[in-house]
Amino acid sequence: MSCEATTIAIVKNTGHRMTPQRLLILSAIRHANGHVTVSQIGSRVRESYPTIDVSTVYRNLTTLRDLRLVSETRIDGGESQYEWIDQDKHHHIICRNCSAIVQIDDTYLESLAQSLMKDYDFTLDTDHFTIHGVCATCLK
């Protein structure tokens, strides 16, 4: 199955329609290397759909985030960045001094999720998790 067909099937399985705009937005995110901003997504989509409005991009991103198809990360209060959530979950640690971002494996949060469930009967949403702190370089 092609990447486009897979994307369409994923959205339709959530009960939502796959509009041309939504497909282009998802494609821009899915084929990006890492995180992309709304302006980057809009620029990419406008190559094929020049009349798309930024409000359409924002509305679709909100829907796709709520469906847990994309993650939203805001670094240092800056512009939100979006990333496709694939089968290999990962998370980020972000330095609050230099804004360095390191991708970490989902296994780091497994024990935390298990402890929260055991101790508090609380299910941790680990689709995308961002931890802020200070990196080794900035500590020196």
- Nearest Cα residue to 81 out of 61, 105, 106: 61
- Nearest Cα residue to 126 out of 139, 107, 140: 107
- Nearest Cα residue to 135 out of 99, 92, 104, 105: 99
Domains belonging to the chain, first-starting first, are: 3-84 (1.10.10.10), 90-139 (3.30.1490.190)
Answer whether 0.75 is exceeded by the pTM.
Answer: no
pLDDT along the chain (140 residues), means of 10: 76 87 92 88 94 94 89 78 77 87 84 92 83 92
> Chain-centre distance of CA 138, in angstroms?
26
